[in-house]
Chains A and B, each alone.
With several copies, the nearest count.
Chain A
């Protein structure tokens, strides 16, 4: 399947919005406006955009510490996301959650998550719900290369495979977990190989090629919707910044880094749109400008959003 028939411009817009959101956060973080550290998604946009382009609003996404891209792609409101990162009451969780605990129940977003590898069992249970209720919905689980070594990976894929659950496990292999490279943390090249341990399909895709990601995910999701069960998709990608905002990422070879930057998914997608005549330069510029305006507004909203008051502290421990 190629780019035709796809809403390639839609995916382009999605990626640009993610990138712009993240870069705005970085700017604000450097200006001291953002409390704590943030794990930016810049560079990995093709994964969220390509996979989630296949989802309906009633499908589910379970995300990670590096999760803004997933939330935005699933339809998250950048203003409420940004305000959550800023710790304000206008945020998705009124500031209680923060960047690593940001959810939108109306969109089936089960939250970014502070525990590496925690998304996998949760997404498995969500997949059970989809199957149990006899829906054709799917559960999409994002996790990193580092997370793929955790026991939760193994147990979740085992369970999903024997129960034939409609879960798509999407590994975002950005070649590092913090400063630890894939070569250091596992003894194989392709995480997708691990699918064989569970008798499910495992696919490696170029995670900087939004079309390739889209197509691999489409296949898996169509299969899952129709009762065909679980898939593991490994997307090879690259994070443009350090592990989190404060990390200068000196541990990465600058030459390798630059090489990877050449494969920027947004630039590639833009070139494809132009070369296939699917969009004009002006149209692409408009996408960028709209995103900038949107994210400026999100920052503005967040800065003006009130801080939570002390009387919110004890609210909401239990569901009543």
Chain B
């Protein structure tokens, strides 16, 4: 397949644009998604110019109605791709997401569905403080009916975006700000990546590292360091949290017997807990040592860069966790 180098951000935008060309019911909405605002939003990127204000809809600062209106539009026939400028604002629209979008299909016995994508930019990158830095995927993971996608590469950003837009269920699509400008080869055309299929990003035999989004490159970095110390780590990029590719995790643990999960979200009840719990149940007999989680500590995200650098898990911390079970 033809491909070209592009950034994660451009690749996601290409995915959206392709779907908009293919399907007239796909539209975007959110704060600063239109022409002027692209300096701020994650989306846009040429999309506005091509499609105009009917299909790329700038909204007031009303996260509740951004998500809430999307539920109604999706139920009757549109495919909204709406966005939160920061994932930190999820609490403002959690009712619409959890009580309306996610429940609609089950509760109405299949009469309605909510095919919508909620794009959220996540992560602590530039020092932006406690309200502009969070990774809150765990909240969504505890809501039956949602899907959660968190790509780590440009190609996946495109391929998973297209799949998410075509999915008939509400999808929370997480774009980590540290990844937006990262480049990669991206297949041209109608390129899709299925949800629920993890990728073994690096094969290894001594320990399994499970991650998603920006923690994947961090795990690869850790794996590199570990290799130098003679420890051969396998790195699994989940790509989607819900559906979760249990098989990929369990078969890797079957090989390595050791599991370390890394995420940028705070520790307690982060999605790492679910993975650990799943393996401690379904993969217990495969385990040779304790399951470690490498996460942000249980605090609000501090603003000062001097503190922030200790907040976000890094390769050294992942390496150190692996060492404790090696």
Residues of B within 8 A of A118 (CB): 68, 95-96, 99-100
Query: Which residues of A76-116 are within 8 A (CB) of B?
Result: 87-88, 92-101, 103-105, 108, 110-111, 113-116
Are A178's CB and B60's CB within 8 A? no
Residues of B within 8 A of A99 (CB): 129, 303
Q: Nearest residue in B to A87 (C-beta to C-beta)?
A: B304
* Distance, CA A158 to CA B62, complexed state (A): 9
Q: Nearest residue in B to A65 (C-beta to C-beta)?
A: B131
Are A96's CB and B107's CB within 8 A? yes
Residues of B within 8 A of A314 (CB): 297, 299
Q: Point out which of B54, B95, B303 has the most chain A C-beta atoms below 10 A from its C-beta.
A: B303
Q: Point out which of B106, B298, B311 has the most chain A C-beta atoms below 10 A from its C-beta.
A: B106
Are A319's CB and B115's CB within 8 A? yes
Given A87-B305, A155-B62: A316 in contact with B106 (beta carbons within 8 A): yes
Given A96-B106, A125-B68: A114 in contact with B132 (beta carbons within 8 A): yes
* Binary contact readout B3-45 vs A (1 if CB under 8 angstroms, 0 otherwise): 0000000000000000000000001000110101101100000
Residues of A within 8 A of B130 (CB): 97, 101, 114
* Binary contact readout B48-79 vs A (1 if CB under 8 angstroms, 0 otherwise): 00000010011111101101111111111110
Are B36's CB and A251's CB within 8 A? yes
* Distance, CA A122 to CA B65, complexed state (A): 8
B89 contacts chain A at the CB level, 8 A cutoff? yes
B257 contacts chain A at the CB level, 8 A cutoff? no
Are B298's CB and A178's CB within 8 A? no
B284 contacts chain A at the CB level, 8 A cutoff? no
Given A125-B69, A126-B76, A133-B77: A95 in contact with B128 (beta carbons within 8 A): no
Are A150's CB and B62's CB within 8 A? yes
B184 contacts chain A at the CB level, 8 A cutoff? no
Range, interface on chain B: 35 or more
6 nearest CB pairs, A to B: A121-B68, A114-B131, A125-B72, A98-B303, A95-B304, A87-B304
Residues of B within 8 A of A307 (CB): 304-306
In addition to A118-B95, A125-B71, 19 A-B residue pairs with Cβ atoms within 8 Å of each other are: A35-B126, A87-B303, A93-B108, A96-B109, A113-B100, A114-B132, A121-B96, A122-B69, A124-B72, A126-B72, A132-B78, A155-B62, A156-B69, A163-B57, A179-B32, A180-B37, A308-B302, A313-B297, A319-B115
Q: Point out which of B96, B110, B111, B131 has the most chain A C-beta atoms below 10 A from its C-beta.
A: B111
* Distance, CA A308 to CA B113, complexed state (A): 21
B168 contacts chain A at the CB level, 8 A cutoff? yes
Residue in B60, B74, B126, B311 whose beta carbon sits within 8 Å of that of A186 in the complex: B60
A129 contacts chain B at the CB level, 8 A cutoff? yes
B145 contacts chain A at the CB level, 8 A cutoff? yes
19 residue pairs bridging A and B, Cβ less than 8 Å apart:
A35-B126, A60-B76, A96-B304, A97-B108, A97-B130, A98-B128, A101-B130, A114-B130, A118-B95, A118-B99, A128-B69, A158-B65, A162-B60, A163-B57, A180-B36, A243-B40, A309-B306, A318-B169, A319-B169
Query: Which residues of B89-118 are within 8 A (CB) of A?
Result: 89, 92, 95-96, 99-100, 104-113, 115
Residue in A105, A117, A133 whose beta carbon sits within 8 Å of that of B111 in the complex: A105
Residues of A within 8 A of B67 (CB): 121
Given A97-B129, A115-B100, A132-B27: A122 in contact with B169 (beta carbons within 8 A): no
Q: Point out which of B92, B105, B147, B307 has the most chain A C-beta atoms below 10 A from its C-beta.
A: B307
* Binary contact readout A116-143 vs B (1 if CB under 8 angstroms, 0 otherwise): 1110111111111100110000010000
* Distance, CA A122 to CA B75, complexed state (A): 9
Residue in B72, B112, B128 whose beta carbon sits within 8 Å of that of A103 in the complex: B112
* Binary contact readout A201-240 vs B (1 if CB under 8 angstroms, 0 otherwise): 0000000000000000000000000000000000000000
Q: How far is the CB of A106 from chain B (nearest CB, A)?
A: 8
Residues of A within 8 A of B100 (CB): 113, 115, 118, 122
Are B132's CB and A100's CB within 8 A? yes
Q: How far is the CB of B49 from chain A (nearest CB, A)?
A: 15
A147 contacts chain B at the CB level, 8 A cutoff? yes
B199 contacts chain A at the CB level, 8 A cutoff? no
Residues of A within 8 A of B290 (CB): none
Q: How far is the CB of A164 from chain B (nearest CB, A)?
A: 12
* Binary contact readout B254-272 vs A (1 if CB under 8 angstroms, 0 otherwise): 0000000000000000000
Are B110's CB and A319's CB within 8 A? yes
A56 contacts chain B at the CB level, 8 A cutoff? no
* Distance, CA A251 to CA B291, complexed state (A): 52
Q: Nearest residue in B to A60 (C-beta to C-beta)?
A: B76
Q: How far is the CB of A171 from chain B (nearest CB, A)?
A: 13
